[in-house]
Structure 1
Amino acid sequence: MMVRLMLVGLLLLASAAAAAATVAQAKEGCLDKCGDVSIPYPFGTNEEQCYLSPYFLVTCNHSSNPPKLLLGKPSPEGNNVQVLDISLDGELLILNYVSHDCYNRSGGLDSLYSYGSHLTPGQFNISSTRNKFTMVGCDTYAWFRGQRGEESYRTGCMSLCDNITAVRNGSCSGNGCCQTSIPDELSDIQSHFTFSSDDLKDLKGIEKLPMVFDWAFGKETCQVVDENSQTNYACKGNSSCNKRKTGWGYLCNCSEGYQGNPYLESGCQDINECENSILNKCENPETCVNTQGNYTCSCPMWYQGDGKIDGQRCIPNRLQMIHAAMGIGIALLVLLVSSTWLFWALKKRRFIKLKKKYFQQNGGSELRQLSRQGSTERIKIFTFEELEKATKKYDESNIIGRGGFGTVYKGTLTDGRIVAIKKSKMVEQSQGKDFINEVGILSQINHRHVIQLLGCCLETQVPLLVYEFINNGTLSDHIHNENKASAIMWETRLRIAIQTAEALYYLHSVASTPIIHRDVKSTNILLDAEYNVKVCDFGASRLVPLDQTQLSTAVQELLDT
């Protein structure tokens, strides 16, 4: 006689992975654990404030060790469903009774047990995605029926096999084992029950197997709940409404970046992604900055992007680099210009101070005093810049005389006048006052055969004298040059001698203050284009002798050669 073994039940799919554990949290002051099972709100034990509604009431039975968590109030019959796990993702893992119909080898009935699972319509449904109706046995069939709203349904499956040895492991497609889906309009089942031939023997003594319930709130959709803004809305701060996996109603989830219990006030707390390298995708974890419900990553200088591996990453900011380079270039240019301007400003300031120093040292104040008294009305005080411009910065091409006294330059003033500028060699500072006195007296000389002093510059270490320019050279140039000498007639030579004598007479006897020339020679007698005489003192190396107490215009008594 063929042995028939039939074991029927709703089995938890072996391939369905457990949902990610969410931080379980009971209401403050309520029991949060029964044995090894956590009790998160909206579920709660006896006190009304501990659970959201009677649907979510659970009881902790301490009569067993360890204590067992039961769904609902304890029934007199003791047939409460045992809860193995409560997930805030809307799943309730329970232990469900298994029906069996077993026969011995002679074909006699060995055991028979049929169990009906009665669930009150409401917040709980049998999960169609996490369970399958499964039958283990040979030459038999099994079925179950249920209620879905107002509609009744029945389904089942059949299994055939000659003996245990003919059963193939891993298959539950009608050879020793069969499965069928639990009807649900949202079911999308791809998993399967892994069957072993040992199940034909080992399952005989098993009374209960795990099964999953789906739970949710109300009968409204999230859209209706959001539009009505109901006061009894289950989702609290930092959470959002989500559609139930199967059937009607809704669930709550913490918003992205938060974790905790979305059904409690302040139950969803910010996740610090920066403390978990898996949660944050920063290219450089050190740049991670936690924010409420999120985090940010930053890029180093000269780079742009969000700094995230799965985002824009960090890429060179060429525009910023160009702007930075331009900024640095402009800054360097400004620094260079400012430094140059400061250098020249300081140099000019020192030069101005030095000119003032020389001006005072050379008797500039005394000369101005004489000018105010009317003694030097015709003498102009030139600036250093005026004479430098007139001589083109004392260019050598403008030199018209050079000797032991110094150098004489030809210059053109801004008004077009051509002048001779005498740049003497060094003299002692003590001569400054005597020099001014001499300039004051020379400025009063007004004779047609005496060179006229036009002015002076006192802003240099050695004063510069400015005379009228005589363009035909000195008498020495003409009498010592055979070509030029032959051109001078005796009548002209006599006139030159007479004009020289007239000039000396004027200096010695007619001038308001007699002036002794002391250095009359051919090199100090200038001739114009008509060979008219201009007596000068260009040959003197110093203007006033150190030991001279009487007025003179030379410091040497040199004989003409």
Structure 2
Amino acid sequence: MVVQMVFRILLLLGSINAIVQGAGVTNGSCSTQTKCGEVDIPYPFGIGADCYINDWFAIDCNETLSSTSPKPFLRRLNLEVFNISIQGTVRVNYPIFMTCDNGTKSTANVNVDLVSSPFVFSQSKTRFLAVGCNTFASLTSPDGSVIGGCMSVCDQTKKTILTNDTSCNGINCCQTTIPSDLNEFNATIKPIETQSAPDCKYAFLVEQTWFQTNMRNPSEIQYMSHVPVVLDWGINTTFFSLVTGNNMSTDSSTSWSSSTFFCNTSTNSTGNPRLTFTCSCKFGFQGNPYLPQRCTDIDECQDPNRCFFNSNSTRGGGSQERCVNTIGSFYCLPAGIKPPTKDITIGLSTSFGLLFLLIGGWLSYRVVKKRKNIKRKEKFFKRNGGLLLQQQLSSSEVNVEKTKLFSSKDLEKATNHFNVNRILGQGGQGTVYKGMLVDGKIVAVKKSKVIDEGKLEEFINEVVILSQINHRNVVKLLGCCLETEVPLLVYEFIPNGTLSHYLYDQNEEFPPTWDMRLRIASEVAGALFYLHSAASKPIFHRDIKTTNILLDDKYRAKVADFGTSRSIAIDQTHLTTVVQGTFGYLDPEYFQTSQFTEKSDVYSFGVVLVELLTGEKAISSTRAEESRSLATYFINSMEENNLFDILDARIMKDAKKEEIIAVANLAKMCLNLNGKKRPTMKEVEMKLEAVQMLRKDPNVQQNYEEVECVRIEMYKQWDVVSKSTMSGTDSGAASSSDTHPLLSF
């Protein structure tokens, strides 16, 4: 514990020194201007190049027409600065939000975004106020949820905000506290009831003490456009790491200190570190802890009365004692007695000896810690199936260079230490985070939920299968990381979510038209045909559903989630496994026999095709009990000649009847309970593309047979493979021992 404490002290000293030197504070390249008008600008803030710790702390000293002296502004936020405290606060001029019954609104930008900055609104010094008659004002987060608010009622004697009441207690004016760590918000104002006369209402953040001291009447706010607001600031520990090369990991109780100053990390409302810290001089010292000279000793003996005592003192006499200044303190001696210089020398020698001893211990600790980290990563690599993955990649004749091994440090930085705000989605096998690599590339990082060695097969299986696939409609695997406590996969980032989200959540900008549904269905069918026939080994996906189909920036389909997929030998027709899949999409024949074939994927695709036609979910509790399965509901409706009663109303506007019937019949064929009677994915893709071609050029209807012949000729090159792998559930059932899954335990 002592070694760790000394390590942190020395690390902080070196880090601050490196940063201020890197900023030019000590090399003379910085300007000497430390004031703007009447405002002092202490480091880490600064005016001019090389005078601030980073751009967030840059100050522009601007001349204004409304003032005889220049005014300082935070460059990145464009907020006027009233005061800066090196204790971690900055007082700024912040705009007011105003709206009137006649439609007038404030034109100032009141939504200053502090999300990526080192600033947050100070919870202890700032309040949220609303001024106006019968007003409800609220703070809302960007997603629309209310995070704070208050309500004011009218003075019944005079329904106006122009009163002589100096309080803000809910009558014509209300106030409330703000949440901790508030860094972005929207202010909204709603009237409680209709006003008899035009009225204006105001909502704003304001410094509490300023409002209590300077606002004699809340109605004075109508003559203002800005009010003072206090922001808390801190220095990002990640910035220290970038400058010094040291990894300054923090936790909620972390603090650093030296003989003259101390630093504490900031924490958020949940007690987790915000990865920023502030520093202060210790008692008995003064100065700026962020500068190279940092804090200097205060000479308490400059006060002539520091060691004066009267005749009633127990020390006797009535004269002044001698004041002796020490580092950080002082003591008094009776006149004529010299300070114990020998004791001080011994103490200093002992302190330096102890310091060198601790430095040696710190160096030893650093070496031991580095070795432990290396062994820890090796342990995780083996436990996460690294050796098995290497074996599978080599035996599968995969180009290993394409499968990159990422370091844990790179992925932690990319995902902001797997911040919950970066979560894209969660599933049965893990959580997916949005990340940005050092080269600026946006990726999706999949992290297993728990350490479960029984799930390693699915993880290794997904890596191996995706390493073999190169298709524009299959999500691309960029690499993986095995040196962490749980294994990680890195994919290309697909920005527009899942097909399920696209179908069932309204999208006004890009609605799911008939053309888009046909194209998506054709792309998924093409990807499955590729997996079944054109990959190096036939691959069964085993979990086709709308939530496993992603949409890229151009709304092109990308088949994803290969955790349960399997490849088989070319001469095999099926594999026998424990039943896995999603109810509503599960092949009934597979459910009964435990034998999964390519036609099982065809059945699941048929359910997806019906979802595209009807806009209904695969399983729904709103339908009758016998029709909760969409496949059953669809087949029954077609047999009863009620197809057009269950179709999505959105496709009825622009789809031709014969096109809908063609696709519906194709879906019915895919959902045949007898797998042998279902079409192959090759046939499905051909029929969907034929419908698309007919839709683009109605004249092709006359030469339909020629189009079919051309399409068959285009796929002739895959016939040799498909004859032995995909045509023959008739050829007999293989036992489970004949299958060759990618990995088995």
Q: Smaller-chain TM-score range?
A: 0.3 to 0.5
TM-score, with normalisation over the residues of structure 2?
0.29
The structure in which a higher percent of residues are helix is 2
TM-score, with normalisation over the residues of structure 1?
0.38
> Which of 1 and 2 has greater Rg?
1
